[in-house]
Chains A and B, each alone.
Chain A
Amino acid sequence: MNAYFERIVTALSRITPATLLARGAVFILTTAALVMAIPSFLFGPRPILAAAVLALVVALAPGSRIVTVVLALAAVGWGATWLGRLAEISPLQLVAFGSLLYLAHSAATLAALIPYDAVVTPEVFVRWYVRAIAIVAASAVISLALLVGVWALAGFNGAAIASLLGLAAAVALVAVGVKLVRARA
């Protein structure tokens, strides 16, 4: 038992500031995404605390499947929040939530790659987050163009267009997935 505690103490003493920075970013971004996804009828201190706890778990285990579960939970929460009130969503709020969800995913990816005791050059963080922000910016432009297009065609509540878009993208996704699985095999 003492040896086990000694190993833990040794591991804790070897943690570098770069690791804390990477995991701190995961915690903040995941908390923000989860708080935005809390349905309005549940909003309060306890759900916010629960969101922070979930974000802490993600920050502690960024390489695990918990990240997928938590981010999926955030998406489900978002869907439940605006169920039946689609017309009330502001485009900026939607793009901001999508960006936060992606940034939380990207930050978890980086934190999972960096060993907890690594010496990291600042260039790694700069390049990574510049890339992530560029993707977010490009996505925001695409999203706004998509929303404007949908508005112009059928109003914001364009259910039919969404279904068509979703189906087309899902088929493309399945094709990409099959290709990847074949390559791996």
Chain B
Amino acid sequence: MGVRGAGGARRPLPLHGTGLTLALRPAVPRTPPPAPPEETAAQDWQPTRALGRALLLIGLLLVAAALFGRVDLVVLAVPFAVSVAWGLSRRPTAVPGLRLATSEEYATEGSSLTTTLTMANRDVVAYDIAIARTQHSAWLDLTAEGSGAKPDRPVVAALDRNEAAAVVLAGPAKRWGRHSIGPAAAVAAACGGLLACRAVVTGSLGFKVFPVTDPFAAEDAMPRAAGLVGQHRSRRQGEGGELAGVRVFGPGDRLRRIDWRTTLRTQQLHVARTLSDRDADVVLVLDLLAEAGTSGGTGGASSVMDITVRASAAIAEHYLTVGDRISMIEYGSSARRLRPASGRRQYMTALEWLLDVSSRQVVRTPGESRMSEAISPNALVVVMTPLLDARSADMVAGLARAGRSVVTVDTLPPGLVPTVTGPWTSSALGIWQLERANTIGQLREHGVPVVAWAGAGSLDLVLRDVARMAGRAQGARR
């Protein structure tokens, strides 16, 4: 695993345990680095207010000593003069080196991430004080190894010349999504605090934190298996492993299909009938019109988006493992789509696609016709929706009317209560719950099963119903 970093200094990478250093061939002829011009160094390091105060006090005391002829005032100025003379005798020229590095690029919820913040003094003058600070996403629970301090506090250290200090930040990622550590910033003061350098800022490191998938399995048949290969028992007879019955041998039957036991019993050639094994298209529609509930990260409460993303990842993982094609569609502001594909690569693509899922209130949503046109008639459509917006129920009903096999997963977290309460809250909540139950009942009447997400086996019961309905004759739409 490589080392990623963000920082100002480029240096050879040490290969741990080998004592070697990875040196890369330069693309252009090597030239000695130009020495920083004196003006640049002067711009990097500026006098502090302490230097101004020291000079002002020295001036006042000496002028007063000259005016009033008092040698004691000269003595009072001596420590200030000595400190300025000593401090400015050797001035710093280089700004501190700052680097953020990590060995991880992605993780899953709950797993640990490690980042090292390194601050180095590359100057010939010691830094009396060097201050480094970084920031990170709220869902990264990082602490400094050793001290246990949170990295939201600045770290102050004294650095001798050619000395470096490192802070190792480690901790778990508590929620899925794209998170970052950085940018980090550092400042330093030298010469007894008389000079301070400009702030040095690094870039930030991005991390992909993939959702933890609840264990999910669906044993029942797909409503309409589509391809010619796969693991699903289809409703059509053909080459496969699932026994569908025994019939009398006919012209064209293969000899290896002869069922010898029945043939011997009946004294007539019989062949075994099997159902063909086929793959299927699964389309996951993610309703992003509304967010509800509080997200507590791993081990905490789940919001609508959490349930949507984790359930989608689990369903995608299951069907991709058995060789099906998965595609995803956002029902919300951006209406993103993930093209259908199968395999391990599609699983990683789907996980990355899910990282960018976010809820946003929108006025216009994709039309019902556009949604159903984008979905294959043979696909199993799994809609993840909290049914908080009337347009979501309309979309689901529209897909069902267009002849798609639709299963609705209710992603509303259980036990949700309004955050703002009033005298009419309980009554209003009761009415809203009745309306929602009514909507769910209407969807069921349209042949759309609605099931709350409960991990493994969530869809088994409803998939059986959907498969049964897919087998019946469909009436033509007017």
Residues of chain A touching chain B, judged by Cβ–Cβ distance below 8 Å, are 14, 16, 18, 63, 65, 67-68, 71-72, 75, 78-79, 82, 86, 89, 94-95, 97-99, 101-102, 105-106, 108-110, 112-115, 117-121, 123-124, 127-128, 131-132, 135-136, 138-139, 142-143, 146-147, 150, 156-163, 165-167, 169-170, 173-174, 176-177, 180, 183-184
Smallest CB separation, A122 vs chain B (Å): 10
Roughly how many angstroms separate A170 CA and B75 CA in the complex, as a whole number?
A: 14
Alpha-carbon separation in the docked complex, A67 to B193 (Å): 15
> Are A119's CB and B71's CB within 8 A?
no
> B28 at the A/B interface (Cβ < 8 Å)?
no
Q: Which residues of B contact A167 (CB under 8 A)?
A: 62, 66
Contact with A along B17-54 (1 / 0, CB 8 A): 00000000000000000000000001000111111111
How distant is the Cα of A94 from the Cα of B42 in the complex, in angstroms?
A: 37
* Bound-state Cα–Cα, A147 to B75, Å: 8
Q: Is B157 an interface residue (CB 8 A)?
A: yes
Q: A75-B57, A109-B193 are in contact. Are A180 and B47 (CB under 8 A)?
A: yes
Given contacts A78-B72, A121-B156, 18 further A-B contacts (CB under 8 A): A75-B61, A102-B79, A106-B193, A109-B192, A113-B48, A113-B189, A117-B153, A118-B154, A120-B157, A121-B157, A128-B193, A135-B82, A138-B82, A142-B78, A146-B71, A162-B71, A162-B74, A165-B66
Quick check: A119 and B128 within 8 Å, CB to CB? no
User: In the complex, what residues of B have CB within 8 A of residue A99's CB?
Assistant: 79
- A149 CB to nearest chain B CB (Å): 10
| Distance in angstroms between the alpha carbons of A124 and B64 in the assembled complex | 35
Per the CB 8 Å criterion, the residue count for chain B at the interface is 59
In whole angstroms, how far apart are the Cα atoms of A67 and B61 in the complex?
16
- Main secondary structure, interface of A, reads helix
Contacts of A97 in B (CB 8 A): 76
Check if B131 is an interface residue, CB within 8 A of chain A.
yes
Interface string of B440-477 (1 = CB under 8 A from A): 00000000000000000000000000000000000000
How many Å lie between the Cα of A184 and that of B156 in the bound state?
27
Complex CA gap A82/B70 in Å reads: 10
In this assembly, does B149 line the interface, its C-beta being within 8 Å of a C-beta of chain A?
yes
Bound state CA distance, A143 and B205, in angstroms? 55
Complex Cα gap A135–B128 (Å)? 15
Q: B292 in the interface, Cβ–Cβ < 8 Å?
A: no
How far is the CB of B231 from the nearest CB of chain A, in Å? Answer: 56
Say which residue of A75, A157, A159 sits within 8 Å of B76 (CB atoms): A75
Q: Does B80 contact A (CB under 8 A)?
A: yes
A71–B74 CA distance with the chains assembled, in angstroms: 15
* Listed A/B pairs (8) with beta-carbon separation below 8 Å: A68-B57, A94-B72, A98-B79, A102-B83, A118-B154, A119-B154, A128-B129, A170-B62
- Chain B residues lying within 8 Å of A147, measured Cβ to Cβ, are 71, 75
Output the nearest chain A residue to B192 by Cβ-Cβ distance.
A131
* Most-contacted residue by chain A among B67, B71, B74, B80 (CB, 10 A): B71
The total of interchain contacts (Cβ-Cβ below 8 angstroms) comes to 197
Contact of B73 with A79 in the complex, beta carbons under 8 Å: yes
Residues in A with CB closer than 8 Å to B48 are 109, 112-113
Report the minimum CB–CB distance from A94 to chain B (whole Å): 5
B428 within 8 A of partner (CB): no
In the assembled complex, which residues on chain B have CB atoms less than 8 Å from the CB atom of A157? 71
Q: Are A86 and B70 in contact (CB under 8 A)?
A: yes
Q: Return the chain B residue nearest A154 by Cβ.
A: B71
Chain A residues with CB under 8 A of B54: 105
Determine whether the beta carbon of B57 is less than 8 Å from that of A72. Answer: yes
Contacts A75-B76, A176-B55; is A159 near B69 (CB within 8 Å)? yes
A150 & B71 in contact (Cβ 8 Å cutoff): yes
State how many angstroms separate the Cβ of B375 from the closest Cβ of chain A.
48
* Contact A101–B79 (Cβ < 8 Å): yes
B147 proximal to A (CB < 8 A): yes
Are the CB atoms of A135 and B53 closer together than 8 Å? no
Task: Contact check, A183 vs B63: say whether CB atoms are below 8 A apart.
Answer: no
| Docked-complex contact A119 and B66, CB < 8 angstroms | no
Query: B76 near A101 (CB under 8 angstroms)?
Result: yes
Interface membership of B155, Cβ < 8 A: yes
Beta-carbon contact of A114 and B156 below 8 Å: yes
Question: Closest Cβ of chain A: how far from B118's Cβ, in Å?
Answer: 15
Contact B82 A173 (CB under 8 A): no
Cross-chain contact A127 with B128 (CB below 8 angstroms): yes
Set A109, A115, A166: member contacting B154, Cβ < 8 A: A115
Type the 1/0 row for B74-110, where 1 means its CB is closer than 8 Å to any CB of A: 1111111111101010000000000000000000000
Which of A16, A146, A176 has the most C-beta atoms of chain B within 10 angstroms of its own C-beta? A176
A43 CB, min distance to chain B CBs, angstroms: 19
Within 8 Å CB of A101, what residues of B? 57, 76, 79
Residue of A nearest to B189 (CB): A113
A173 and B55 within 8 A (CB): yes
Instruction: Report the Cα distance A128→B81, complex, angstroms.
Output: 17
Q: Which residue of A lies closest to B188 (CB)?
A: A113
Per the bound structure, the CA–CA distance linking A165 and B63 in Å amounts to 10
